[in-house]
Amino acid sequence: MGGGTRSLASRVEVDGAGWERAPWRQTPLRPARAALGARIALGALVALVGFTAAALAGFAVFGRHPDLLARYPGAGPVYAVAFTFFARTQVALAFVALAVALVHVAGARWLPALAAVYAASLASELLGTTVGLPFGPYHYTDGLGAKWFGHVPVLIPLSWFTMAVPSLALARRAHPAATVVLGALVLLSWDLALDPAMSRVTTYWLWGGTGPYYGMPWSNLVGWFVTGLALMAILVRLGAGAWTARLDRRWVAAFYATNLALPLGMTAAAGYWGAVLVTVGALSGCALLQSVLR
């Protein structure tokens, strides 16, 4: 096709600036199909936002004020069930929302990346929960459900994928190395709120010792960055740049922000404003670094 009507497939190859060649030929979606897919993806995101808001509100009201539970007979057991239900459903619903968006732009071509990221993050988590590397000594409680080999909840590697993909999409640069490093930093920024919320404010996992950052050892940040580098490299190697480039950047930003909102809101409700400021500062630093890395 002529330069003025260049196909979407060729645009993706050029946009990759030489480091990314799509392993599959893309064709523009028909307008009606594209509009329908976009509406479904938006609906899934809205559902995730609503669920996250409900979970955060419930925690802020009852989780931080357990005396309120005593006023209503039977409220305690209901909250205990909700404590596990909301955490597990949040991860599952986030994955479904992302899957809907990926199916819209890439069909089933993202599934190999899902399998690879799931396996790699599971291996990293198994090392962490057994020998303490690369994160430091910790273990998961039963709050997140069934576990692989009695150590890592089945949902945890799914959560890694669910946030690794938007981190890569938001960090996209012309050079693959810059994308990998920046993507790992964006992913790491999420943990600056996630870990205090899930191991200090609540007890979905517990550290083997006391660390300086809300009980977390500094080795955990190193482990997250190293794991993030590996996951970003896997995604780039499997052509994720091609299909993440087709995601609406505003949708991706809103999706990342929604998944960040729950732990960030929990730390704020608990009065851990230091974690809130550090997280916001880290993401601001990532934005600044992105403007430098062209």
- The answer on pLDDT for 135 being more than 90 is yes
Question: pLDDT class for 3, splitting at 50, 70, 90?
Answer: very low
- Whole-angstrom Cα distance, residue 28 to residue 8? 6
- The answer on pLDDT for 215 being more than 80 is yes
Alpha helices (H) in 16-154, listed in sequence order: 31-58, 75-106, 111-131
5 alpha carbon, distance to own chain's centre: 36
- The answer on pLDDT for 214 being more than 90 is yes
- The answer on pLDDT for 66 being more than 50 is yes
Task: For residue range 39-59, list pLDDT tens digits in order.
Answer: 999 999 999 999 999 999 999
Task: For residue range 15-37, list pLDDT tens digits in order.
Answer: 443 344 444 444 555 677 778 88
- pTM given for the model: 0.89
| Mean pLDDT (whole number) for 135-164 | 97
